[in-house]
Amino acid sequence: MAYIQRQFEKELLRAAKAFPSIVLTGPRRAGKTHLLRHLFPSAQYLLLEDPDTLSKFRQDPHGFLDGLRFPVILDEVQNVPEIFNYVRSRIDADMRKKGRWFLTGSQEAQLMKGVTESMAGRSAIMQLLPMSRQESPKVNILTGGFPEVIARPKDARLWFSSYLQSYVERDVRSVTSVKDLSTFRRFMSMVATRHGQLLNKTAMAGPLGVSVPTISQWLDILERTMQVIVVPPFFENMGKRLQKSPKIYVADPGLACHLLGIDTQDELSRSPFLGALFEGLVASEILKHQLNTGRRRELYHFRDDQGLEVDFLIPGTSGSITMIECKASRTVTPSAAAPMQRLMTAGSTKLMKGRTMKGMIVHQPPRAGQSTKAVAPGITVHSWTNFTDHF
């Protein structure tokens, strides 16, 4: 597969000059290994899922590490969490040497435990998500951003089916002892049907015949392995009038479509999930941009008990707030700006008082002609392709 330049490269190269080791996490098949091997072609590569490699390390850890050639890429290190202690002692022997250890993994929680306990101050912790539209114009709702799907979109259905089977049988089993994998698979499809909705664990538990604590555990697995995006409410602890439940999205829109049984553009255009899927696409693009450019991961939603709702809020500098409304239609009317206008003029709301606010409406690009540029004071309109290019 031909290499596509990743927006994340600059941040990764900068970190390699400043830290002895890099811990790179992200969902399986997001392109972590491909990226590292491209940027550091002289690095030795070892896959810690390979039985022979695992056996060599566990039989003689010091001998295994003594035989490494630097820089070295140790792939899928969550399979051998004990390796962090050995790597730490080697780093401590000469902290001046930078960019020698590149550790990757697909299960963030297990990795983070090892990093927290052994690698604090020695590693740059970074996260790579599937490709954004800034990296490939082929990214869209149907294909999502996984590099292999973008390279072979005609095989997307088979690829996603294989990905889910591999994910459930390998990652889920290794994170926790899920006994009923078929029910977990139905749970993932149920999450897709609640794409873009407020999280209600009780409503999910009943149809699956499991307990609410089980749903909590399974959601934690999806979040750990970066298969879902959980968008918290904005300042959830301020005032009783604000909705305190997060919204949930399948992280990759292409995977969300597959889970919903949507395989073609025609099926997508007729689907009742189109609006939610488009909203999830925008959410994933925002988070990819934040992570790829070294910014804090900050994305919230707003909803109060009076029915005022804005899809996304992004905090900026000096207390500024950017509001984003997502519309799957190709035409935007002034009424789409009403929720953001209400929030902008709610001067008595403690939440927004004294903040500089601006609004954006993000929509699907029209097939011909140009979209409206503005619909209300302080609120601009952008096609999602324009939004991702200039956000």
- Tens of each residue's pLDDT in the chain, 391 residues: 678 899 999 999 999 999 999 999 999 899 999 999 999 999 999 999 899 999 999 999 999 999 999 999 999 888 888 898 899 999 999 889 999 999 998 766 556 666 666 677 788 989 999 999 999 999 999 999 999 999 999 999 999 999 999 888 777 876 666 778 889 999 999 999 999 999 999 999 999 999 999 999 899 889 888 999 999 998 744 455 667 899 999 999 999 999 999 999 999 999 999 999 999 999 999 999 999 999 989 999 999 888 889 999 999 877 789 999 999 998 888 899 999 998 888 644 555 666 788 999 999 988 765 656 778 888 999 999 989 876 6
Please tell me the pTM assigned to this model: 0.92
Q: CATH assignment of 9-127, given 3.40.50.300, 3.40.50.1820, 3.60.150.10, 3.30.1230.10?
A: 3.40.50.300
Note whether 287 and 129 are within 8 A (CB).
Answer: yes
Residues 6+ away with beta carbon under 8 Å from 248: 191, 194, 195, 196, 197, 199, 219, 228, 229, 230, 231
Q: Where are the domains of the chain?
A: 9-127, 147-280, 300-390
Residue written as tokens 């189109």?
Answer: 274
Q: Which DSSP state fits 233?
A: B
Note whether 328 and 342 are within 8 A (CB).
Answer: no
Amino acid at 160: F
- Sign of the CA dihedral with 364 first, then 369, 373, and 375 last: negative
CA distances from 302 to 189, 203, 228, 240 (A): 26, 22, 19, 13
Fold of 147-280: Arc Repressor Mutant, subunit A (1.10.10)
Same fold, 9-127 and 147-280: no
